[in-house]
Amino acid sequence: MKSIIFVLLFIFIHFESSSQNYQVTYDITFSPNSNNLNYRSKEKGLLIISNNRESVFVTENFLIVDSLLIQMDEKDLDPYSELDNFRKTSSKNFFKTYIKKDYEKKGTETFQLLGISQYKYDQNNYLKWDLHSDTLKLNNMICHKATTKYAGRQYVAWFTTEIPIPDGPFKFYGLPGMIVKISDTENHFNFELVSFEKVVKIKISRPYLYNEAIEVSQKEFIKLQNETILTPLKQITDAGMVITSGDISKSTGPRKQKTNFIERE
Partner 1 sequence: MRCIAIFIFLNTSLSSFSQTIVRGLVKDKNQNPISNAILTITESSKNTFLNYGFSDKQGRYEIKFSSLADSVTLEVRLLGYSPVTGKITNETQVVNFNLQESVFELKEFKVKPEPIKKNGDTLSYSVSAFKNKNDRVIADIIRKLPGIEVEPNGRILYQGEPINKYYIEGMDLLEGRYKIANDNLNAEAVTDIEVIENHQPIRMLDSLVLSNKAALNIKLKKNITTTGQLSLATGLPAALWDVNLTPMLFTKKKQFLGSYQTNNIGKNNTSQLMRLTPGIYKDGLPTPENKQDWLGIQQLSNPSFKSLRWLDNNSHLASINILKTLKKDTELRLIADYSNDTQIQQGYTQTLFFTSKEDSIRLTESKYNKLHFNNLKSDLTLQKNTKKKYFKNSLKSKAYWDNQTGLITNNNGDFTQLLENPFFNISNDYKNLLRIGKSIVTLNSRTGFEKTPQSLTVSPGSFTPLISKDSLKNTIRQEVIQTSFFTDNSLQWLKRVKRISIGTEIGFIVEKQKLESAITSPSESFGNVYTNQLNWLNQKYYVNLQSRYRKGGLNVSLETPVHFYSFQIKDKVLNKGESLEKITFEPALNINYQLNQFWATYLSSGSKNGFGDLNQMYYGYILTSYRDINRSDAPLLQTLTLTNSVGISYKNPVNSTFGSLNFSNSKRRNNLIFENHLNEDGGSQRDAIEKVNYNNNNSLGGRLAKYFRTIKTTLTLSASLSSQESVQIINNELSRINLRTFTPNFLLSSQPLSWFGVDYGYKLSCFKNIIIGVPRQKIIQQNHELKLNINPKDNTYFAIINELYNNNFTHYESVFTDLICRQTVGKKKVDLELNWTNIFNVKSLLAVNSGTFSYIETFYRLRPAQLTFKVRFSL
Round to whole Å and give the CA distance between 220 and 224.
6
**Site membership for partner 1, residue 17 (CB under 8 A):** no
Round to whole Å and give the CA distance between 9 and 11.
5
Are 46 and 59 in contact by the 8 Å Cβ rule? The answer is yes
Stretch that binds partner 1, among 3-11, 58-66, 181-189, 207-215 (CB under 8 A): 207-215
Query: CB 33 → partner 1: shortest distance, Å?
Result: 5
Which string of x and - marks every residue 113-132 that binds partner 1 (by CB under 8 A)? Answer: -xxxxxx-----------x-
Query: CB 13 → partner 1: shortest distance, Å?
Result: 18
Stretch that binds partner 1, among 10-18, 58-66, 148-156, 241-249 (CB under 8 A): 241-249
For residue 198, what are the contacts with CB-CB under 8 A and spacing of at least 6?
20, 21, 22, 23
Round to whole Å and give the CA distance between 10 and 2.
13
Query: CB 65 → partner 1: shortest distance, Å?
Result: 13
39-98 binders of partner 1 (CB under 8 A): 39, 52-53, 73, 76, 78-81, 83-85, 87-88, 91
Query: CB 192 → partner 1: shortest distance, Å?
Result: 8
Are 44 and 59 in contact by the 8 Å Cβ rule? The answer is yes
Round to whole Å and give the CA distance between 142 and 158.
9
Nearer to partner 1 by Cβ, of 99 and 113: the residue is 113
The one-letter amino acid code at 216 reads: V
Sign of CA dihedral 216, 190, 95, 9: positive
**Site membership for partner 1, residue 3 (CB under 8 A):** no
Are 129 and 175 in contact by the 8 Å Cβ rule? The answer is yes
Sign of CA dihedral 116, 6, 193, 24: negative
Query: CB 250 → partner 1: shortest distance, Å?
Result: 6
Query: CB 168 → partner 1: shortest distance, Å?
Result: 13
141-200 binders of partner 1 (CB under 8 A): 142, 144, 161-166, 175-177, 193-198
Q: Which of 203, 206, 255, 264 binds partner 1 (CB under 8 A)?
A: 255
